[in-house]
Amino acid sequence: MIALIIFLLIVALVVNQLKKNVPNTSTQKLFSVIRNASFLGVFIAVILSCVAQVGPGEAGVQVLFGSVQDGVLKSGLNFVNPLVNVETMDIKTQAYTMSSVSDEGSQKNDDAISTLSSDGLSLRLDVTIWYRLNEGDAPQVYRTIGLDYVEKIVRPAIRTALRDVSVGYTATDIYSVKREDFVREVTKNLENAFDGRGIVLERVLLRNVELPEKVRSAIDEKIASEQRAQQMVYVLQKEKQEAERKRVEAQGIADYNRIVSQSITDQVLQLKGIEATLELGKSQNSKMVIMNGKNMPLIFGPGGF
């Protein structure tokens, strides 16, 4: 923009000088138009050079003659010194992925982290780091690190943190039971590495842990055995509950039979016999009633002989 302004000023001055040396009136008018257009262009260029547009999710860093200014330009239109150069830096959440799958990570080849566990086994880790640039620290990052802070700071810090933390855990711990503890310690390590660098860590995602084939098979078998043992405990508990249910049911039936047997006496049986005889007497059919020795009626119908 500064070069354009200088060019237009030179054009305006040259045209103005040529106008004085040309006696032709029509030519002088043409030079006047060109001169006025040049001055108008200079004016517009000066106005535009005083306005800097910063996109959403970006921070503007002002550089004046090679010196980085401390002020940060916010998203939108900003009035600035026309002599400054504005560099924009991304302050949105960014993801840096290291993966063994080609074209999946930030690098276009196999970029998984190879490291050793405390038991000497080789591990390959796929990770994704969510981070962002602190808006207020953008001028300091540009001044001390530059725009390539990802390659200078973020990537080396991730690799170092994973390798430093993994040596304190066994392979099986990272693979299964202490995975969250491992991620938590890596997060703390990275936060310390980014401290004072203008980079804010948001989250560490441990996407995959690749173990040697023999170790992975042994771990899978161990997990399967634990699951079978838990299933057996469940089955035994279920059978125990079923046995308890049957015992309670049998006890209830026994109690019922005991109560019924205690309530059936000779007097009750005689009473029921008398009631049956009375009901028989109301019948229109011919019946024969023979009383046994215990006063219990024996009833025979017409076809009973």
User: Which range has the top average pLDDT, 147-161, 204-218, 261-275?
Assistant: 147-161
Say yes or no to pLDDT of 278 above 90. Answer: no
pLDDT-based confidence at 51, cuts 50/70/90? confident
Say yes or no to pLDDT of 177 above 70. Answer: yes
Q: What pLDDT, on the 0 to 100 scale, is given for residue 303?
A: 46
Say if residues 77 and 112 touch (Cβ distance below 8 Å).
no
Phi, psi of 88 (to 5 degrees): -95, 140
pLDDT-based confidence at 233, cuts 50/70/90? confident
Q: What pLDDT, on the 0 to 100 scale, is given for residue 193?
A: 92
Overall average pLDDT of the 18-40 stretch: 59
Q: What pLDDT, on the 0 to 100 scale, is given for residue 243?
A: 85
Q: Is 90 helix (H, G, I), strand (E, B) or coil?
A: strand
- CA separation for the pair 66, 80 (Å, rounded): 16
Say if residues 174 and 186 touch (Cβ distance below 8 Å).
no
Q: What pLDDT, on the 0 to 100 scale, is given for residue 10?
A: 60
- CA separation for the pair 184, 300 (Å, rounded): 93
The closest alpha carbon to 86, from 95, 98, 94, 74, belongs to 74
Q: What pLDDT, on the 0 to 100 scale, is given for residue 31?
A: 54
Q: What pLDDT, on the 0 to 100 scale, is given for residue 35?
A: 60
Say yes or no to pLDDT of 69 above 60. Answer: yes
Say if residues 85 and 96 touch (Cβ distance below 8 Å).
no
Q: What pLDDT, on the 0 to 100 scale, is given for residue 24?
A: 53
To the nearest 10 degrees (0 to 180), the angle between helices 179-194 and 155-166 is: 140
292 CB contacts (<8 Å, ≥6 apart)?
A: 298
- CA separation for the pair 204, 202 (Å, rounded): 7
Q: What pLDDT, on the 0 to 100 scale, is given for residue 305?
A: 39
Q: What pLDDT, on the 0 to 100 scale, is given for residue 229?
A: 84
Q: What pLDDT, on the 0 to 100 scale, is given for residue 194?
A: 93
pLDDT-based confidence at 22, cuts 50/70/90? low
Cα-based torsion angle of the residue sequence 184, 190, 196, 199 in order, rounded to the nearest 10 degrees: -100
Q: Is 172 helix (H, G, I), strand (E, B) or coil?
A: helix
Least confident interval from 31-40, 114-123, 226-235, 275-284: 31-40
Say yes or no to pLDDT of 304 above 50. Answer: no
Q: What pLDDT, on the 0 to 100 scale, is given for residue 184?
A: 93
- CA separation for the pair 198, 98 (Å, rounded): 22
Q: What pLDDT, on the 0 to 100 scale, is given for residue 259?
A: 76
- CA separation for the pair 201, 194 (Å, rounded): 7
Q: To the nearest whole percent, how much of the chain has pLDDT over 90?
A: 24
Q: Looking at the whole model, is its pTM more than 0.95?
A: no
Q: Report DSSP letters for 149-167, one per residue.
A: HIIIIIHHHHHHHHHHHHT
Query: How many residues in total does the chain contain?
Result: 305
Overall average pLDDT of the 189-218 stretch: 87
Overall average pLDDT of the 255-273 stretch: 70
- CA separation for the pair 56, 72 (Å, rounded): 14
Overall average pLDDT of the 234-261 stretch: 82
Residue-averaged pLDDT of the chain: 78
pLDDT-based confidence at 93, cuts 50/70/90? very high
Say yes or no to pLDDT of 265 above 60. Answer: yes
Say yes or no to pLDDT of 207 above 70. Answer: yes
